[in-house]
Amino acid sequence: MSNFFGPTLPPPTNWLTQPRAPADRRNSITEPNIKLYVNAVYYPNWHVYKRRPPSSLNPGLVSHIFYAFAWVKLDGTVYLSDEWADTQIGVDGTHGCLRSLALLKQKNKYLKLILSVGGGGVGSQHFAEVAAKPAARETFGRTARDLVDRFHLDGLDIDWEHPSDPQQGVNYIFLLDAVRRYLPAPTYILTSALPAGTWALKNINLSVAHHFLDYINLMAYDFSGPWIDTYGHHAQLYSPAFPHSDAAYLSGDSAVTYLRTVGVPLSKIILGIPTFGRSFLGVDGTTGKYSGHGGEEGTFEYKDLPRPGAQEHVNREVGAAFCIGGDGGFVSYDNPTTVTMKATYVTRNGLGGLFFWTGTADASHPRSLVETAFKTLHNC
């Protein structure tokens, strides 16, 4: 296992001898029905254009809402990526999705609202340069604090996808240090979304990084997709006994095991669940090759699964659902059965909870993944 996961980087001496970050803790949620575990959702600001306002979320089932995304400029300035959606559009009786979320919190005092900075593609394009410069890191922390305070939010989520070499991993920790000074615990929550692949995680000294963070949002999905030439489950909880590709070695459990091995407290790990499926058309069951993808960019939202004419299955060995047939071919995703498995995994192993990308792609009762997670986590 050590050869597969690879070596970890030694922590810089000053971080060991002069820690600035808080000790391990869980946020105290006083609402009786929320109890202890995090059950969080991401809300992407562009979903308001799909007629999915913040009010479409079910706040009675979630503890944290991550608002995606703010972006960062080359000088380190954190800014709102879509001012119209974020602060101006008429929605839910107010102006802007951020104010709409504030209204949700007024009615649900236990809710924690967190601004997520970064995301895939353009959202993360300047992180490496910003994290490498002390002045830019200070600007990042100061402007992030300004936005959090301006909209009465509870904290920040850093979604740098992702430090790609050991030096960027060191700079990532410098960035966390700067942000934590501007957003001190316990007043503010600081989280970071990280990939589940050790090819990315090994670039960060997580035994040091976790001290600055309340939670690590482990993106335990996108294991298989159009970037590889064989089909597979994209969010499996366990690796199969006989993996047919390098991607098949990845799993939620393998990532959690790695984090635990390098010293991250299990209570700080939030296991990510996708509310979308990945499609593989023309699958050759002998070679594992496929000919294309269905859906928008090869994906279908969970609320649209299983596809018409397709039959749904669950592989309980690996903890993955899939459907075969219709316009999606082979589609890998999570369903209530696999979410129950993952929520049970969280409670049995003492993880911090679950999060979903995204809250607005979920289905309604009785197939709701967010509802299934909440009931399983809290035994209700």
* CA angle at 216 for the pair 8 and 169, rounded to the nearest 5°: 40
| Alpha-carbon gap, residue 328 to 31, rounded angstroms | 41
So which residues are the catalytic ones?
161
Tell me the two tokens of residue 332: 């890998």
Contacts 24+ apart (CB under 8 A), 307-310: 307/331
CB 275 within 8 A of CB 302: yes
CA torsion, ordered 96, 296, 234, 123, to nearest 10 deg: -40
How big, in percent rounded to 5, are the helix, strand and coil portions of the chain?
35, 25, 40
Task: Check whether the bond before 64 is cis (ω within 30° of 0).
Answer: no
| Alpha-carbon gap, residue 86 to 113, rounded angstroms | 14
Q: How many residues does the chain have?
A: 380
Determine if residue 92 is left, alpha or beta; phi over 0 gives left, psi from -120 to 50 gives alpha, anything else beta. Answer: left
Q: 297: part of which helix (H) or strand (E)?
A: none
